[in-house]
Chains A and B, each alone.
Chain A
C-alpha cells in the first residue's frame, strides 16, 4: 500500500483490508499521535461535502499533520478554465498526499495517473468511495467481532447505491450471507448477483423486511429517492416499506447493529437513534480512525 493510490475498493486485497482494519483499531485506542508532523495533506473537494472532508481533516489534524486545500471549485483556478490535469500536477508539488472528491466519474483514477504523490479517492461522482467502504467494514467487524458468517441486510436503493455495491464487493472476499431488500425498481443489478453466484456466496431478495429482520446481524440502510422512480405512484406505494422504525427492532438479535452511510433523510425514524442497536453515528466516528489507518499506511508511516 505504501506510495500507492486508493481509488477503487478493488485496488486492495483481502490482506490489505485486514491490515487497515487492524491499524484502525490501534488508532481508536490512541487517535492523537504525532505521526504526521511535517506532512502536508491536500484536500481537494471540487464539490462540497461535510462529513467526508471533515473526517479526513480531523484524521490528519489529530495526527499532527497540516492541511491545505479547498471545498467547492468556485474560489479556484478551475473557474478560469484550468484542467484537472494541471490542477493535480501543480498541487502534487505542494503536498505529500492528495485527498480528492470530484463530480466526474473516473476523475480519481485519472488524478492518480498524473499526480506525483498518492491520491485517495473521497468520491468520484457515483463511482467509488473506498474509504466509506473500509469504515463500514471496520464498523461491521468491531460490532460483530468477525467479517465471516454474518447475515447482512442491505436495504433501500440497491440499484444506484454506490456504497452498497462497494460494500458488497469488499465483503464478498469473506463468507457472509446477503439479504437484498428493495423495491422491484431498485433491485440489486444482475452483474452483482452473477458475481456472487460465481463465487458461491448466498443471497436472497425481498421487497419487505419486517418479517425477516430478526435474523439480521447488520442492517445497512440507504435512502430510497423519489427521483429514481419512473412512476411517482409506485414511489408513494412503496416508500414506507423501506423506513426503519423503532418498533421493528423488538425481536431482533441482541448484537444486531444498524448502519447508514449518512446523510439520513427519513429512512430511519428518530426514535431509533436512542436504541443501542443504532450505530450510524458511531460509524462516522470510526471513519476518522479508518482514514488515519489509510493515510499512514499509504505514507509508509505504519
Chain B
C-alpha cells in the first residue's frame, strides 16, 4: 500500500517483480550499481538520483526487475550504504521490507587492504571478522590486518 501511495510522486517508474533499493545516499548511487554488477546485467534497471529525502537530504533509488538479491549482495549494500532500505516487489506490491545490516563476518566480498596478504597473492576467498560496524572495521581472518571504511574495496558481484 505504502508503495502504491509513493508511486504517484516517483520519477522512476514502478516494477512488477524485483527489488527496489531505496534511501541510497545520492553520491553512492554508482558505487552501489557497480558493486552489485548492475552495469552488466540483462535485466531492466531503472534508477533516479538527487531525489529529495527528508532523512538524507538527497537520495537515490534503484529498481531492478526480476532480481531478488542473495545475502551476499545485501551484505555488499550494507558495507557501502548502511542506510539503504530494500523492498521486495511481487506483482507491483511490496511483499518484504528489509533494512540492511553489516553482518558479524564478511566472506568473499571485500578485498584485504594488505598487499602482502595471502588473499591478494593466491586464489583464496577473503574472510573478515567485523570488529566495528559504524564506521566499518574488518579484521582479516588470514593476515589479521584491519581494513576500514576508508580503504575498503568491494569485490563486485559477477
Which residues of A are in contact with B by a Cβ distance under 8 Å? 8, 83-85, 103-107, 109-110, 124-128
Which residues of B are in contact with A by a Cβ distance under 8 Å? 112, 114, 116-119, 121-124, 140-145
Instruction: Determine chain A's interface SS by DSSP, over half rule.
Output: loop
> In the complex the two chains form, is A105's CB within 8 Å of B123's CB?
no
The minimal Cβ–Cβ distance linking A115 to chain B, given in whole angstroms, is 14
> In the complex the two chains form, is B144's CB within 8 Å of A8's CB?
yes
The minimal Cβ–Cβ distance linking A124 to chain B, given in whole angstroms, is 8
> In the complex the two chains form, is A106's CB within 8 Å of B123's CB?
no
> In the complex the two chains form, is B118's CB within 8 Å of A104's CB?
yes
Contact of A84 among B117, B118, B140 (CB under 8 A): B118
Contacts of B123 in A (CB 8 A): 83, 85
Q: How far is the CA of A124 from the CA of B147 in the complex (A)?
A: 19
The minimal Cβ–Cβ distance linking B11 to chain A, given in whole angstroms, is 47
Contacts of A126 in B (CB 8 A): 116
Contacts of A124 in B (CB 8 A): 118, 143
- Residue on B with the closest CB to A83? B122
Q: How far is the CA of A88 from the CA of B70 in the complex (A)?
A: 33
> In the complex the two chains form, is B116's CB within 8 Å of A105's CB?
yes
Contact status of A104 and B141, CB under 8 A, knowing A83-B123, A85-B122, A110-B124:
no
Q: How far is the CA of A109 from the CA of B116 in the complex (A)?
A: 14
> In the complex the two chains form, is A105's CB within 8 Å of B124's CB?
no
Contacts of B144 in A (CB 8 A): 8, 105-106, 127-128
Contacts of A105 in B (CB 8 A): 114, 116-118, 142-145
Interchain Cβ contacts under 8 Å between A and B, 23 examples: A8-B144, A83-B122, A84-B118, A85-B122, A85-B123, A85-B124, A103-B116, A104-B118, A105-B116, A105-B118, A105-B143, A105-B144, A106-B114, A106-B117, A106-B118, A106-B140, A107-B118, A109-B118, A110-B118, A110-B142, A124-B143, A125-B116, A128-B144
Contacts of A107 in B (CB 8 A): 118, 142
Contacts of A84 in B (CB 8 A): 118, 122
Contact status of A109 and B141, CB under 8 A, knowing A83-B122, A84-B122:
yes
The minimal Cβ–Cβ distance linking A196 to chain B, given in whole angstroms, is 17
Q: How far is the CA of A58 from the CA of B145 in the complex (A)?
A: 33
What are the 8 tightest A-B residue pairs by CB atom distance, in nearest-first order?
Answer: A106-B142, A105-B143, A106-B143, A106-B118, A107-B118, A104-B118, A109-B142, A110-B118
